[in-house]
Structure 1
Amino acid sequence: MIVTIVGKVKYSITLDPTVWIFDSRKVPLDEAFKEKKAEKQQEKSEAEKAMERWNREVYQQKYPNINDNVEKNLNKDVLKNSYVMPLKDFIQNAEITEDAAAAYLLTKDEHKTKITLKALKEGYLLFAKDGKPLREDGPVHFYYGDGSNKDEPIKNINKIMIV
């Protein structure tokens, strides 16, 4: 149930998709291909951050902590949804060399699918369906960032080779 990133990279990486369910970068499959709003990506100003810290310090002591109940409800949802993980961070951490031209997605049955490096960076890996790991046709499925293969993802991927 692991996926490796190898080839023309400075650092080969081994990924364990079974622990991504706890990762805050995961995205519900239903939301992965919706347009991203610019407001969500903008960084908060220093004044807004200071105001949030102040409010947290002032009000945290006066009111009971409701985070426990929120976390319990969130955990119930985690076990029902399907999730994808954006590949961007993992590809950046592997540090693709300058002479790399493309990538291959290799499956358990040794099938190769060639994709561009841009498509790889913008892509998603499905790692959980209905809150469960992909045991039969996993460990992951690849989706293009634009959702063009949403109905027919590349399945059974266990290695990403940069060439």
Structure 2
Amino acid sequence: MIIQLTGKVNYHITLDPGVWIFDDRKIEWEQAFGHPLSNDNPNGEEEANRLQQRWSREVYQQKINPPINKSISKFERNEILKGTYVMPIKPFIENAEIQDGAETVILSTSSGEHEISVNQLTEGYFLFARNGKPIKEDGPVYFYFGDGSNKDTPIKGVKQIIVT
């Protein structure tokens, strides 16, 4: 359930999506792909305020490297364990330090290889938890472009990222 990031990078790193559920950098699926909150929900404004505060904390935490696990309430912990989350890939790419001249990335999956640009990887997301559970079928992660253009057809089963 780990993912190797190798190739034209200064630092080869290993990603473990199993520990991301309590990582402050994770983003809720709806937040990542711009689904608006429903106006039919009587708690919509309260929910919007909660999400705004959470987003502000996440943006602040992204400036701290590595992220610090803050103390969370039991209620928040239970809510986290019900959500569907994506992890922005950009912080990991910045830590690996892609070398000059690298233009493409190969996502090695259980069903083959997919070639994308470095920019597409940097702006992309990994889906790592659905309903609070790790992705086991076709996992450990699914890759989504940052613009959500492949929301219906993600690249599933990413096992290795090779920068070329």
Short-chain TM bin: 0.7 to 0.9
Deviation at 1:88, TM superposition (A): 0.3
In the other structure, the counterpart of 2:109 is: 107
In the other structure, the counterpart of 2:141 is: 140
SS in 2 for 1:24: coil
Contact 2:11 2:96 in 1 (8 A): yes
In the other structure, the counterpart of 1:161 is: 162
In the other structure, the counterpart of 1:131 is: 132
**1:54-112 residue CA offsets vs partner (Å, 9 max, x unmatched):** xxxxxxxxxxxxxx8x6111111111111000000000000011021110111023x11
Taking the aligned partners of 1:17 and 1:160, their CA distance within structure 2 comes to: 14
In the other structure, the counterpart of 1:5 is: 5
Residue 37 of structure 2 is aligned to residue 31 of structure 1: no
Taking the aligned partners of 1:80 and 1:22, their CA distance within structure 2 comes to: 12
Give TM-score scaled by structure 1 length. 0.77
Contact 2:110 2:138 in 1 (8 A): no
Contact 2:128 2:140 in 1 (8 A): yes
Give, as a single letter, the amino acid of the residue that structure 1 aligns with 2:75: N
Q: Which of 87, 92, 107 is the equivalent residue of 2:89?
A: 87
Taking the aligned partners of 1:151 and 1:116, their CA distance within structure 2 comes to: 20
SS in 2 for 1:85: strand
Deviation at 1:137, TM superposition (A): 1.1
Give, as a single letter, the amino acid of the residue that structure 2 aligns with 1:145: G
Taking the aligned partners of 1:117 and 1:107, their CA distance within structure 2 comes to: 17
In the other structure, the counterpart of 1:120 is: 121
Give, as a single letter, the amino acid of the residue that structure 1 aligns with 2:30: D
SS in 2 for 1:112: strand
Give, as a single letter, the amino acid of the residue that structure 2 aligns with 1:75: R
- Deviating runs (4+, > 3 A) in structure 1? 40-43
Deviation at 1:42, TM superposition (A): 9.0
**1:8-58 residue CA offsets vs partner (Å, 9 max, x unmatched):** 0010010000000010000011110229x9xx5998xxxxxxxxxxxxxxx
Unaligned runs of 5+ in 2: 36-51, 61-70
SS in 2 for 1:92: helix
